[in-house]
Structure 1
Amino acid sequence: MAIQLAKGQRIDLTKTNPGLTKAIIGLGWDTNKYSGGSAFDLDASAFLANDQGKVQDDLEFVFYNNLKSPTGAVEHTGDNRTGEGDGDDEQIVVDFSLLPAHVTKIGIAVTIHDADARKQNFGQVSNAFVRVVNPENDEEILRYDLGEDFSIETAVVICELYKHGSDWKFNAIGSGFSGGLADLCRNYGLEV
């Protein structure tokens, strides 16, 4: 059975799961029964960062327009433009064995596409979650449900995977940004 985490909790991934070299990061959400005339399009992304929390190469920002990092260590499985249905709406696959040595943190975020123009924010999103699945046996290792703590935010860093010694750990972040994808990119050192 998966471990249920709360905001701010950290848990080991690779030490307590020997042999775990790949992980599926599944993200899901629903939109509240609010209609502002535009459909919601939420997008998952991954920022492959160094010890200072900064992305060294634009190609190490993985999202719907750049589905795979240069080494193939992080891959976005594709954009889901509606979020309809149960289960994961978008997935990011991480192969820890292919990560370059300078990458010690992977920030996983979700943004609302065109949020300002559509007058949308995370206050209109519910049931948002992230889960980590072992692709070898489809076992859910952990799950973090974000709750309803957001109002005007248009981007959320949901979690970070980070290296501690030779092991990888999971940190349930749940930190919102009001400036959308641009704010998020600047946070990780990318020029917008």
Structure 2
Amino acid sequence: MPSTILVRGANTSVSKALPSVSNITVGFSWDVVHSNGPATEIVACAIVCGQDGRAVSDEHVVFFNQMLDPDEGVLYDESGDLPGGDTEQIEVSVGQIPSNVARIAFVLYVNPDLRRPGTFDSMRDAVVRVLDRSGDEFIRYPVDTHDKDLGATSAMLAAELYRRGDEWKFRAVGQGYVGGVSDVARDFGFSL
């Protein structure tokens, strides 16, 4: 089946595309324009949110330093050689997501721990993909990093997987945060 291509603000039904969905993978890829200074390091993370739109707890923020949420439904994959050209992947076992979870926010941010972390100005060809259990892509969101809302930012809410009744849907968001991951933490209510 051909991929559904999303633009910023658009959404599509995961449940209708894959009626018996139990596991999906959200893949992230990008290129970074290298400079003479330290390279910009981009990180993907997932924030498991309750009905209030905020992280269920600090342990529900999944990234390279906290690879699994407490409910074991969201897993950060750093296997190294990821399929389809993905730089990072996050696996979601939809059947293990508790009913108190309303959405999973997928965030990209520039690692603030570097000497000069940089912004998304150096990021090119960013793509968020959703893959089925067999690894076939069925949703693609090419992120416009030249959008005026993203270029000088250092974190973005890239996309989200959310419930609408009994249905899981996926939305392309592309919302930048000038204050980086600190602003993301404030908005989603978790500690860094």
**Does the TM-score normalized on the shorter chain lie above 0.5?**
yes
Deviation at 1:12, TM superposition (A): 0.3
In structure 2, distance between residues paired with 1:15 and 1:179: 37
Report the alpha carbon displacement of residue 116 of structure 1 after superposing the two structures with TM.
7.5
Classify the secondary structure of the residue corresponding to 2:38. Answer: coil
The match for 1:83 is: none
121, 127, 136: which is aligned to 1:139? 136
Offset of 1:5 from its aligned partner?
0.7
AA aligned to 2:107 is A
Q: Tell me, which stretches of 5 or more residues in structure 1 are unaligned?
A: 81-85
Name 2:163's counterpart in structure 1: 163
What is residue 21 of structure 1 aligned with on the other side?
A: 22
What is the CA deviation profile of residues 130-149 of structure 1, one whole-angstrom value per residue up to 9, with x for unaligned ones? Answer: 000002x2211110001121
Report the residue type matching 2:15 in the other structure.
Answer: T
Deviation at 1:104, TM superposition (A): 1.0
Q: Provide TM-score, normalisation by structure 1.
A: 0.91
| Contact 2:24 2:91 survives alignment (8 Å) | yes
Contact 1:162 / 1:170 at 8 angstroms: preserved in 2?
Answer: yes
Deviating above 3 A after TM superposition, structure 1's stretches of 4 or more consecutive aligned residues are none
Answer yes or no: is the 8 Å Cα contact 1:46–1:63 preserved in 2. Answer: yes
- 1:102 maps to amino acid: N
Residue identity matched to 1:157 = L
Q: Which residue of 1 aligns with 2:63?
A: 63
* SS in structure 1 at match of 2:15: coil
Aligned to 2:91: 93
SS of the residue aligned with 1:15? helix
1: CA distance, partners of 2:32 / 2:114: 16
Q: Give the aligned partner of residue 30 of structure 1.
A: 31
Q: Take 1:164 and 1:48, find their aligned partners in 2: how far apart are those partners? A: 16
- 1:36 positional shift: 4.5
SS in 1 for 2:184: helix
**What SS class does the counterpart of residue 101 from structure 2 fall into?**
coil
- Residues 115 and 146 of structure 1, relative CA distance in 2, 3 Å threshold: farther
Aligned AA (1:5):
L
Structure 1 residue matching 2:68: 3-state secondary structure? coil
Match of 2:105 among 98, 104, 107: 107
Paired residues, what number? 187
Letter in 1 for 2:124: S
Cα offsets for 1:15-51 (capped at 9, x unmatched): 231111110000010012x414102211100000012
Quote the offset at 1:153 in angstroms: 0.3
Contact 1:23 1:93 in 2 (8 A): yes
Provide the residue aligned with 2:128 in structure 1: 130
Aligned-residue RMSD, C-alpha? 2.0
CA separation of 1:60/1:173 partners in 2, compared to 1, >3 Å: closer, same or farther? same
> 5+ unaligned residues in a row in structure 2: which ranges?
none
- Report the TM-score when normalising by structure 2: 0.91
Q: CA deviation at 1:185?
A: 1.2
